Amino acid sequence: MAAPPSGKVVYEQEGVFIHSSCGKNDDQDNLIAGILRVIEKENEVIVDWRPLDETLDTSNILYAGKDSSSVVEWTQTPKEKCSRGADRPSSYEAEWDMVTTVSFKKKPHSNGDATTHANRESKWSFLFSLTDLKSIKQNKEGMGWSYLVFCLKDDVKLPALHFHHGDSKSLIKCLEKHVALNESPHDERVLLVKTQKSLSQSFENLFDEPSYGLLQKWKKDPYVVTMGKFSKVTNYIVGTLRSSDQSNQRRPPSEMADFFNDTIPGLKINQQEEPGFEVITRIDLGKQPEVSRREPVSAEEWAKNMDSEGRILDVDYIKRLIFKGGLCHTLRKEAWKFLLGYFPWNSTKEERANLQKRKTDEYFRMKLQWKSVSEEQEKRNSRLRDYRSLIEKDVNRTDRTNKFYEGEDNPGLILLHDILMTYCMYDFDLGYVQGMSDLLSPVLYVMENEVDAFWCFVSYMDQMHQNFEEQMQGMKTQLIQLSHLLRLLDSGFCSYLESQDSGYLYFCFRWLLIRFKREFSFQDILRLWEVMWTELPCQNFHLLLCCAILESEKQQIMDKHYGFNEILKHINELSMKIDVEYILCKAEAISMQMMNCKELPQTVSEILGIENSSVTPDSDTGEDESGAELSCPTSLYQSISTPVIAANGTRDGAQQVAETQSLTPA
């Protein structure tokens, strides 16, 4: 039997038949047994079926590629040759007889003056790339052997494949890891291929491809591209997004809107038809107030705010201290458990110890679930196998320059892997998606304990869950909300971004997806996250951090007349160069600006969770305000009588106290 194409076989099934009922001889009306494989190659996924016949002439294998006409042609056999087809009972599905009307022949090739023809019928072997797949038709329930019919984008239907041993559903599940399949609204048996790729796919290297392929991957999976290095992407993407005609340097707003709506369905951000037109009436927010930050909360301050049983006395006060200065590193291991919701704020020390015992038992029960899966079992569990493969790949490249994770056979890496695998047992529907290791790494670094790190990570993922769901609802919502906030803050800057095809703020995608993890240094991320976890001074404070960064870069972007490519490159190159204390000050000042505004649009008040009698309803809704009550008025900050430091003053210089040798699993 001919060998399958080279690559990694991710699905293989024998007992997959073609029911042939057309041929020159009666003995060709038979069942052709074959083997079906799905094969991952470097840049594509191949579906390959071939007979088990040992005498197969491999020269007749057909490849239905994007430009298959240059290799083979698909020819229709005259219907009169199929004398048997009309005699089939009417109860039979059309797909049973479909192969009676199609045969495949090699296209003649010329070599100098000589022309050769390969007119022999093939043995029905075929293979095609998933990028060429248009739809899959399934049989009706209760119609005997299950079968599938693949229809390609050039409307060629391949012979029906009958699964005599069952298991056609496992093939569908395998294909869904590489393409999104949706039930047709017109026929429930037909699965249509969507252009959006599944989020569970591993991140690929996108930067060694021509611009067309890169753009298509960006459209199919923006997670993949934005998690990579945008500076490399821009070398290719601008030539694809912009017209090659140098006289037309801008794409029409409607065209860019179509592009990003295809990329993130449901993303609705106003695109101005003219740079000078503003959707929201200009509102004077007044001058940004001067804001300063204090020293990190010390162990002494934390202890003073606890009673004899270990109960926090004034939760609001301690949160305000953390918001204004963060925590000294020695406190993080304890305080983060409260901030993330693992420990209740009103719990006693004894109650927390009992909670940890229960959570330890629960954790190791879940860990045992995947630890006890044998190799044979895992061969039949493709989802668990895929989760493990992606986790192992990501763990080996997560924060490897940090002493906690550097080197080979590092216990920190082992715990990172085990916690992520156990999370797949905790939430098997979501499983593992790339980017989650970025969220876990700082938590494990601080906790130095497998169980505590897991439950803190669970709490963090409760906040971040929608960012990683396949429908991207969390990302859609945040990008739209960020657009509203930035337009209120500086409508002129929004207009400029839109004039450069950048109004969708897609360059903020990575910021939002993993909460700035790759934009700040590791120590700065510890500070930034603990401040955000206080949920002060308003909800969605992370969006105001985005506004603060963009406003800080506005002058350079506009003064130097940056275009689409330059904006993307400039924002990407900010990574590891942003002053966390300065940005925290600026974001807090923006929040105070907006909360003090007398005519705050209702949409903005809802985004920030502000309830104010002077809030103005949006012109497009005409509804009354319904925002949540403001959790912490700005006046409360005045009650913190502690030393302060300027935004550009000395940062917390706490050294890493956790070395890999001190890591002790629970």
Give tens-digit pLDDT for 41-77: 877 889 998 887 643 443 433 333 333 332 333 333 3
Q: What does the pLDDT read at residue 306?
A: 96
Q: What does the pLDDT read at residue 402?
A: 93
What are 362-421's pLDDT values in tens digits? 999 999 999 999 999 999 999 999 999 999 999 999 999 999 999 888 899 999 999 999
* Cα distances (angstroms) measured from residue 256 to each of 175, 243, 269: 30, 12, 11
Give the pLDDT mean for 430-441.
Answer: 96
Q: Which three-class secondary structure state does DSSP give residue 341? A: coil
CB 320 within 8 A of CB 349: no
Token pair 């505590």 in the structure block, residue:
452
Q: In angstroms, how far is CA 17 from the centroid of its own chain?
A: 38
Name the pLDDT band for 497 (thresholds 50, 70, 90).
very high
Residues in contact with 644: Cβ distance below 8 Å, sequence separation at least 6, in sequence order: 292, 293, 294, 324
Which of 170, 158, 163 minimizes the C-alpha distance to 143? 163
Give the pLDDT mean for 639-653.
Answer: 42
Q: What does the pLDDT read at residue 432?
A: 96
How far apart, in whole angstroms, are the C-alpha atoms of residue 530 and residue 541? 12
- Helix (H) or strand (E) run with residue 201 in it: none
Q: What percent of the chain has pLDDT over 90?
A: 48
How far apart, in whole angstroms, are the C-alpha atoms of residue 428 and residue 386? 12
pTM flag (> 0.85): no
Q: What does the pLDDT read at residue 654?
A: 36
Q: Over the chain, what is the mean pLDDT?
A: 75
More confidently predicted of 253 and 156? 156
Q: In angstroms, how far is CA 631 from the centroid of its own chain?
A: 31
Q: Which of 83-97, 189-203, 452-466 has the lowest mean pLDDT?
A: 83-97
How far apart, in whole angstroms, are the C-alpha atoms of residue 144 and residue 499? 59
Q: What does the pLDDT read at residue 19?
A: 79
What are 589-609's pLDDT values in tens digits? 999 999 999 889 999 999 999
Please, which residues bridge with residue 39 across strands? 9, 46
How many other CB atoms are there within 10 angstroms of residue 7's CB atom? 16
Which of 209-218, 556-565, 651-660 is predicted most confidently?
Answer: 556-565
How far apart, in whole angstroms, are the C-alpha atoms of residue 297 and residue 300? 8
Q: What does the pLDDT read at residue 594?
A: 94
Q: Mutual orientation of helices 564-572 and 230-241 as an angle, nearest 10°?
A: 170
